[in-house]
Amino acid sequence: MARKPKLLWIQSLTCNGNSHSFFNHSNLFSILSHFELIYFPLIETKYSLEDVLRKKVHSDILIIEGAIKEDLTKGGVNIKELIHHYAKESRYIITAGTCATFGGIFKQSEPEKISGFAFDKENEKEDILSLYEHRLISLPGCPIHPKWLSYVLLMIINRRRIPLDEKNRPQELYGFTVHTGCVRNEYFEWKIDTHGFGHKEGCSFYENGCQGPFTHGSCNKILWNDTSSKTVVGTPCFGCTEPDFPKERLFSTKTNMGIPQKMPLGIPKRAYLTVTGIAKSFKIKRLEKKVIDYEK
């Protein structure tokens, strides 16, 4: 039997959110059974963190969690240097989460010093990409969806090619917007606002700051906890997979004289406004009513 690939999870500047998200995968141990788990912060293995820091282990698939900071040390070891040590020998390098991919929330504290592994927000880190571009898979998200990571791991195990976009994100996962599959699409079509949070009815794009129509991700195709998503339950999408995450005032839509500043991905503003003007002109009674009238 062929040797199982060695899976090594290294944490840089992180809140552990991605580890915990993956830990909640409903088939975690079945997925991990295909690998030799070298180190993962939430599961005991035969190696200690010290073994990892002392470079006593090896890696075939390196998962990086957390943002990169030049002088960050753990146990006296420079983490950036440690990541490079294991990245050089790995067949795949996966940046798990927006911090590891673009800098994310941690970048906010010291924007000049903190970035993602191969990207600094939108910008490519050419020195890193020149070394690892062909082995790099970006999985932004705050946190990542556990099934986005398992998709990548199982594709690797099955020796399948993973089509990637210009930021090394799997197209299967990030080729859509979060808007795709949202149960509120009918309200979006007819421009009916939700007027609050947590309601069954209405769309959160107009007032509540939903970024689903311009955020890459499949939160409404691959549901969270196999059950739901932010936009489904009536909370705006925060755009957590994007290079510019986090933005400010996540619960309100930025508008210019009432016109949403940011358009659905790739839609010219003139086209959007024309269609919106027409759709808004109609009063669709069914969509303006509550789905369930609890007062009755």
Partner 1 sequence: MHKGYVLTKKELKRESILKTALKLFSAHGFHKTTIPDIANALNMSVGNLYNYFKSKDILAKEIIKYTSEVLGQEIQKVNLQNISSKEKIKKIVELYFKMAKEKPEMIEYFLRVYLSHREVFNDGCEGMLCVSGFVTEIMIFFDNGVESGELRNQDFFSAFGLFMGYLGGMVFLKGENILPKKLDEYIDDISENIYNALKA
> According to the binding rule CB under 8 A, does residue 273 interact with partner 1?
yes
> According to the binding rule CB under 8 A, does residue 278 interact with partner 1?
yes
Cβ proximity to partner 1: between 132 and 206 the closer is 206
Burial label, 133 (beta-carbon count in 10 A; 0-12, 13-18, 19+)? middle
Residue 2 phi/psi, 5-degree rounding, is -65, 150
Taking CB under 8 A as the criterion, the residue among 166, 266, 281, 296 binding partner 1 is 281
Q: With CB under 8 A as the contact rule, which of the stretches 4-12, 25-33, 128-136, 276-284 interacts with partner 1?
A: 276-284
* Structure token digits, residue 248: 């400010």
Cβ proximity to partner 1: between 20 and 280 the closer is 280
Alpha carbon distance 115, 172 (integer Å): 25
Site string for partner 1, 71-90 (x = CB under 8 A): --------------------
> According to the binding rule CB under 8 A, does residue 288 interact with partner 1?
no
> According to the binding rule CB under 8 A, does residue 259 interact with partner 1?
yes
Cβ proximity to partner 1: between 76 and 258 the closer is 258
> According to the binding rule CB under 8 A, does residue 280 interact with partner 1?
yes
> According to the binding rule CB under 8 A, does residue 269 interact with partner 1?
yes
> According to the binding rule CB under 8 A, does residue 274 interact with partner 1?
yes
Residue 277 phi/psi, 5-degree rounding, is -60, -40
Taking CB under 8 A as the criterion, the residue among 196, 255, 265, 267 binding partner 1 is 255
Q: With CB under 8 A as the contact rule, which of the stretches 4-12, 85-93, 241-249, 274-282 interacts with partner 1?
A: 274-282
Cβ atoms of 150 and 31 closer than 8 Å: yes
Q: With CB under 8 A as the contact rule, which of the stretches 95-103, 132-140, 147-155, 265-273 interacts with partner 1?
A: 265-273
HEC profile of 210-264: CCHHHCECCCCCCCECCCECHHHHCCCCCCCCCCCCCCCCCCCCCEECCEECCCC
Cβ proximity to partner 1: between 196 and 277 the closer is 277
CB atoms inside a 10 Å sphere around CB 259: 11
Please give the radius of gyration of the chain, using alpha carbons only, rounded to the nearest integer: 21
E-assigned strands of the chain?
6-11, 36-39, 61-65, 68-69, 73-74, 77-78, 92-96, 114-115, 119-120, 123-124, 136-139, 255-256, 259-260
Cβ atoms of 99 and 136 closer than 8 Å: no
To partner 1, the closest distance from the beta carbon of 287 in angstroms equals 15
> According to the binding rule CB under 8 A, does residue 248 interact with partner 1?
no
Residue 236 phi/psi, 5-degree rounding, is -70, 150
* Structure token digits, residue 175: 């080729």
Cβ proximity to partner 1: between 257 and 291 the closer is 257
> According to the binding rule CB under 8 A, does residue 247 interact with partner 1?
no
Cβ proximity to partner 1: between 134 and 286 the closer is 286
Q: How many amino acids of this chain bind partner 1 (CB under 8 A)?
A: 16
Q: What residues make contact with partner 1 under the rule CB under 8 A?
A: 255-259, 261, 269-270, 273-274, 277-278, 280-283
